[in-house]
């Protein structure tokens, strides 16, 4: 359809870009989505999400009070994970408390516990957990191991000394690098940057192009000598600018509200951001060539957004997924961007560490752009 003389024109690209910026500015909904979504998500998720919950409500049944029982409970509470909220006299109530969500754990110290300890009979201490959500109980249960070893050391003195655990044959030393205190925000907030860019980027472009078709302005656009690439550039460049504004918002929040460390180069990050935003916008543009109306465009955006959210390693540990799910995850730009942004901010990664995740996004961008330009019709057929 397009003759060879008809190269890419700066004037036409500029016409599209200017028009798009004006429309963006006038459309309150879009504007609210561009600024409102990042601010809301960062505040909401940044403050709300905690993958290492502490002070979990615990029911306690002590069948027979003793020094051992008291010290055990103190040791449990000292881990920070358990907080005794219920003292239960009748152990039969425990299943009810767990089932009705009133406690996360129930600790039962049986009759004759102290005597059995003193006799070296290794009695059983029962801790029941509502393990419906493994993430909520995992860390707390891991902390129990240590308790069995040391909780009663103070009480096992004198003749009982021999009941103490012997020291292990070797010592394990753990270095929690990059996030020694296990602060969830350090992981979540940079991740949110990717999530926000994916969500708004795909949706905004998909809507922007579909709107032209729905309002009938596409027919006019097609009747003018604008080439598909120029339309695409015009639809994408303004939203890249929007993406950068969103990135700055998230970075400001990360720094001032959540004190997320920023060790690496922000210049390198902005390169990653550029490619990542472009990839998402290209997806949105492609969707718009398929969608018949804005509602469909919206639905398609969600179809892309959900797997991105769930399989990228933002919500759940990437390495916890089976191979096939990891393969899908590897194909999603968000997966790689999360590694890039977390790597740069928390680990101080440089070009060498970032490159293995940069090229897959770039490849994705190229493939999607080719699909988009092939699908974009110069006619109304």
Partner 1 sequence: MTGAPVIDVHSLNKSFDGRRVVEDFAIQVGRGRICGFLGPNGSGKTTTIRMLCGLLTPDSGGGTCLGLDILREGAAIKRQVGYMTQRFSFYEDLSIAENLDFVARVYGLPRRRQQVAQALDRLGLTRRSRQLAGALSGGWKQRLALAACTLHEPKLLLLDEPTAGVDPVARRDFWDQIHRLAEDGITVLVSTHYMDEAERCHEIAYLAYGKLLARGTVADVIAGSGLATWRITGPGVAALARTLHSRPGVDRVALFGQTLHVSGQDPDLLAAALADHRASDGLHFQPAPPTLEDVFIHLMGEARDNFS
Size of the site for partner 1 (CB under 8 A): 30
Least distance from C-beta 33 to partner 1, angstroms?
16
Cβ atoms of 246 and 38 closer than 8 Å: yes
Q: Angle at which helices 28-48 and 228-256 pack, to 10 degrees?
A: 40
**Near partner 1 by CB under 8 A, which window of 142-150, 221-229, 250-258, 323-331?**
221-229
DSSP 132: S
- CB-nearer residue toward partner 1: 267 or 380: 380
Letters for 13-32 (x = contact with partner 1 by CB under 8 A, - = none) are -xx--xx--xx--xx-----
Give the residue, chosen from 169, 224, 267, 352, that forms a contact with partner 1 under the rule CB under 8 A: 224
CA separation for the pair 229, 190 (Å, rounded): 32
Spatial separation of the C-alpha atoms in residues 64 and 172, rounded to whole Å: 36
Interaction between residue 1 and partner 1 (CB under 8 A): yes
Helix (H, G, I), strand (E, B) or coil at 227: coil
- Residue 212 CB, nearest approach to partner 1 (Å): 9
Contact letters for partner 1, residues 316-345 (x by CB under 8 A): ------------------------------
- Interacting residue with partner 1 among 3, 159, 167, 317 (CB under 8 A): 3
Quick check: 378 binds partner 1 (CB under 8 A)? yes
Residue number, 10 or 177, with CB nearest to partner 1: 10
Site membership for partner 1, residue 374 (CB under 8 A)? no
Closer Cβ to partner 1, 15 or 39, answer by number: 15
Pairing of β 105-109 and β 126-129: antiparallel
Binding mask 131-170 for partner 1 (x = CB under 8 A): ----------------------------------------
Size of the chain, expressed as the number of residues it contains: 381
Supply the minimum distance, in Å, between the C-beta of residue 5 and partner 1: 9
C-alpha span between 203 and 297 (Å, rounded): 7
Residue 48 is a binding residue for partner 1 (CB under 8 A): no
Looking at residue 125, what DSSP letter applies? P
- In order of 92, 172, 314, the CA distances from 10 in angstroms are 78, 63, 39
- Judged by CB under 8 A, the residue of 101, 146, 165, 217 near partner 1 is 217
Q: Let me know if 244 is exposed, middle or buried by CB neighbors in 10 A (0-12, 13-18, 19+).
A: middle
Burial (CB count <10 Å: 0-12, 13-18, 19+), residue 182: exposed
Nearest 5°: CA angle at 132, between 130 and 134?
Answer: 95
For the bound state, the minimum distance from the C-beta of residue 19 to partner 1, rounded and expressed in Å, comes to 5
- Listed in sequence order, the residues at least 6 apart from 178 whose beta carbon sits closer than 8 Å to its beta carbon are 186, 346, 347
- For partner 1, what does the binding mask look like between residues 187 and 216, x meaning CB under 8 A? ----------------------------xx
- Which residues are near partner 1 by CB under 8 A? 1-3, 6, 9, 11-12, 14-15, 18-19, 22-23, 26-27, 215-220, 222-226, 378-381
């Amino acid at each position: 359809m397009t003759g060879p003389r008809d190269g890419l024109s700066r004037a036409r690209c500029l016409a599209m870009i200017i028009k798009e910026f004006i429309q963006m500015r006038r459309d309150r909904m879009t504007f609210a989505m561009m600024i409102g979504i990042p601010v809301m998500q960062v505040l909401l998720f940044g403050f709300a999400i905690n993958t290492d919950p502490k002070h979990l409500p615990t029911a306690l049944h002590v069948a027979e009070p003793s020094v051992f029982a008291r010290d055990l409970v103190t040791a449990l509470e000292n881990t920070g994970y358990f907080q005794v909220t219920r003292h239960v006299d009748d152990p039969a109530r425990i299943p009810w408390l767990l089932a009705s969500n009133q406690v996360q754990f129930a600790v039962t110290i049986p009759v004759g516990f102290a005597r059995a300890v003193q006799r070296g009979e290794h009695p059983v201490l029962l801790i029941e957990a509502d393990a419906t959500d493994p993430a909520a109980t995992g860390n707390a249960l891991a902390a129990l191991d240590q308790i069995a070893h040391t909780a009663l050391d103070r009480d096992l003195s004198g003749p009982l000394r021999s009941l103490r655990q012997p020291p292990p044959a070797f010592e394990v030393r753990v270095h929690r690098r990059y996030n020694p205190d296990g602060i969830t925000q350090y992981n979540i907030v940079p991740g949110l940057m990717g999530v926000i860019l994916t969500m708004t980027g795909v949706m905004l472009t998909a809507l922007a192009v579909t709107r032209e078709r729905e309002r009938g302005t596409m027919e006019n656009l097609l009747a003018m000598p604008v080439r598909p690439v120029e339309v695409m550039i015009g639809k994408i460049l303004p939203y890249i600018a929007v993406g950068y504004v969103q990135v700055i918002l998230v970075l400001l929040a990360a720094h001032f509200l959540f004190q997320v460390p920023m060790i690496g180069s922000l210049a390198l990050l902005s390169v990653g951001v550029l490619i990542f935003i472009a990839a998402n916008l290209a997806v949105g543009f492609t969707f718009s060539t398929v969608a018949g109306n804005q509602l469909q465009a919206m639905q398609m955006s969600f179809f892309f957004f959900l797997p991105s959210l769930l399989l990228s390693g933002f919500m759940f540990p990437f390495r916890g997924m089976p191979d096939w799910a990891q393969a899908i995850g590897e194909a999603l730009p968000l997966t790689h961007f999360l590694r890039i942004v977390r790597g740069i901010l928390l680990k101080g990664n440089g070009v060498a560490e970032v490159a293995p995740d940069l090229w897959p996004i770039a490849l994705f961008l190229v493939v999607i752009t080719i699909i988009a330009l092939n699908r974009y019709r110069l006619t109304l057929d």
